[in-house]
Amino acid sequence: MKRGIDRRTFIKGVASTGLAASLLSSRVALGQETQAPLRVMLVPLTHGWGRDLALGRAFTGTETNFTIPAPLTGLDAIKQHCTFVDGVRGTLWGNAHDVSYSDIFTGATCWEEHGSDQLGVHFPEPVGPSLDHVIAQHHNSQVLRVSANYRSWGRRSNPICFDNNANVLDSFWEPEAAYDAIIGPIRDASAPPQPGRNAIRQQFFDFMRRDTDRMLAEIGGTERSKLEQYVQAFTDLGERLQRRASVTLTEDQIPDRPTPSPAFEAMVDYYFDMVRLVFQADTHRVAVLGFGEGTEDYQWRDAAGNLQTGNPWGSDFHHNVAHHGSAHEDPERARTVYDGWVEWYIEKMVEFANILETVEDIDGNSLLSNTVIMLTGEVGTGNHDTRNKLHILIGGSNHMQTGRWINAPLVDPRNRNGVFIGGETRVGDMVESGLNYGDGLSIWHTADLLAEIGRLAGLELPNGFGLSANNMAPMPLRLT
């Protein structure tokens, strides 16, 4: 008598190879993706990435032929992979740091609200989720959230990531904790490392071929036809896996567990390695890496051209360096110190981008070409600039045109020519901002850029992202 396919026997055979957990965690490895997916990495730097018009740090040139200002000149090394959106508007009320933490990834912080039982008196709760959460939900994937001292006073971590109910989605604060939760299971699933990944795969498919040949000899009709289709699909998967060694990971591609309490630079490097791994294995489509104060090894040159290291005013970086405006005792010197601090992080980002460029993705292109990294901050500079902040996109050349400087249109604060700039209350009332002085205001809100990145990642977002009030002048320059 003919019998059906024993699925439990089949799954047991898969598990016996030691590959089941690592393969089943990755839709790319299983062949369920016909194209390489886009990964998204959000990188906020407390105090901002440093484009400062008041002190001469400005882009010049045209959209495709431009000069990158200090302290971002390190990005010249990967200029062809970058898109500079200069700039977009952030929150225009309240304490620029505190309010913006809740807004930079949600675009959904209501007008002039302060405090909550969850976040405390200084931090308003948004009424919508952050982009990382929405993208992950759309793809039924995970988010790796890690923090390198990205904090504000009164909290251990900044509230930047939220779910649909405005609950804070906290980050890992120690690389060893992130490793144990995220990387450890991948390492365990990939063992044993010998006699090599290709040999293990070959044993796996040899086993499957023998077992299915036996079952084919015993059944007929519709059951046989189904099994033949199943075998063909599995054969196709095997061929893809054999051709693309990077789909599953070799032992030396999985980092060792971090040492407890590593130095700050080592912590950053550990985090980068984890992001690279989960993107490469496709266990996560989104990552958030917050950069805060931590390094003391940044260098800068004094007025005489001598190389200096660290903060010359002591330990209060926030007020003595980041706040380098006109009220500072020596604003130009403080700005030079700040430039050196930002340059340290730029160098780390360039190193990480170059690593992603060497990793082959499922489509044969580099992992960097299928990853968009957004550099942002709660303010544009330490001087609380939120009028037209610079946002830097690195990577994603398979999904958008890179090597560009996109200069945002500005309006005079006193004469906005019908451009709405303001906010929205929790009950949905639109509130025009009364700001009527100073430099020009960007017509684009952070929400407009978040919407563009979300669309690149597969979200439809026909009405933009976040509050309606923050989607009044959508970007006419699609990143695609």
pLDDT, tens digit (0-9, with 9 covering 90-100), for 144-200: 999 999 987 666 778 899 999 999 998 899 999 888 887 777 666 554 433 344 444
Contact (CB, 8 A) for 143 and 287: yes
Mean pLDDT of 17-36: 48
Give 118's pLDDT tier (boundaries 50, 70, 90): confident
Numbers of helices and strands, H then E, in the chain: 12, 15
Give 246's pLDDT tier (boundaries 50, 70, 90): very low
Contact (CB, 8 A) for 98 and 152: yes
pLDDT, tens digit (0-9, with 9 covering 90-100), for 123-156: 899 999 999 999 999 998 889 999 999 987 666 7
Write the single-letter amino acid at 349.
M
Sort strands 441-442 and 410-411 into parallel, antiparallel or unpaired.
Answer: antiparallel
| Residue 256, pLDDT score | 78
| Residue 341, pLDDT score | 95
Q: CA 298 to CA 296: how far, in whole Å? A: 6
Give 261's pLDDT tier (boundaries 50, 70, 90): confident
Average pLDDT, the chain: 82
Q: What is the DSSP letter of 209?
A: H
Closest C-alpha among 424, 376, 459, 323 to residue 160: 376
| Residue 463, pLDDT score | 92
Reply yes or no on whether the pLDDT at 104 is more than 80.
yes
| Residue 122, pLDDT score | 82
pLDDT, tens digit (0-9, with 9 covering 90-100), for 276-286: 988 988 889 99
| Residue 141, pLDDT score | 87
pLDDT, tens digit (0-9, with 9 covering 90-100), for 81-103: 999 999 899 989 888 888 899 99
| Residue 328, pLDDT score | 80
Mean pLDDT of 419-424: 95
- Domains located in the chain, CATH noted: 1-32+194-249 (no CATH), 39-190+262-470 (3.40.720)
Mean pLDDT of 454-471: 94
Q: CA 235 to CA 201: how far, in whole Å? A: 12
Most confident of 35-44, 49-58, 180-189, 231-240: 35-44
Q: CA 77 to CA 357: how far, in whole Å? A: 13
- CA distances 388 to 54, 199, 378, 385, 446, Å, are 12, 55, 12, 7, 9
Helix (H) or strand (E) holding 23: helix 20-24
Instruction: List CB contacts of 143: < 8 A, sequence separation 6 or more.
Output: 132, 133, 136, 161, 169, 284, 285, 286, 287, 288
Give 223's pLDDT tier (boundaries 50, 70, 90): low
| pTM, full prediction | 0.82
Mean pLDDT of 345-354: 98
| Angle formed at CA 50 by CA 349 and CA 350, multiple of 5 degrees | 15
Reply yes or no on whether the pLDDT at 12 is more than 70.
no
Of all residues in the chain, the percent with pLDDT exceeding 90 is 53
| Residue 152, pLDDT score | 72
Reply yes or no on whether the pLDDT at 5 is more than 70.
no
DSSP letters, 299-367, are EEE-TT--EEES-TT-S-HIIIII--STTSSSHHHHHHHHHHHHHHHHHHHHHHHHHHHHSB-TTSSBT
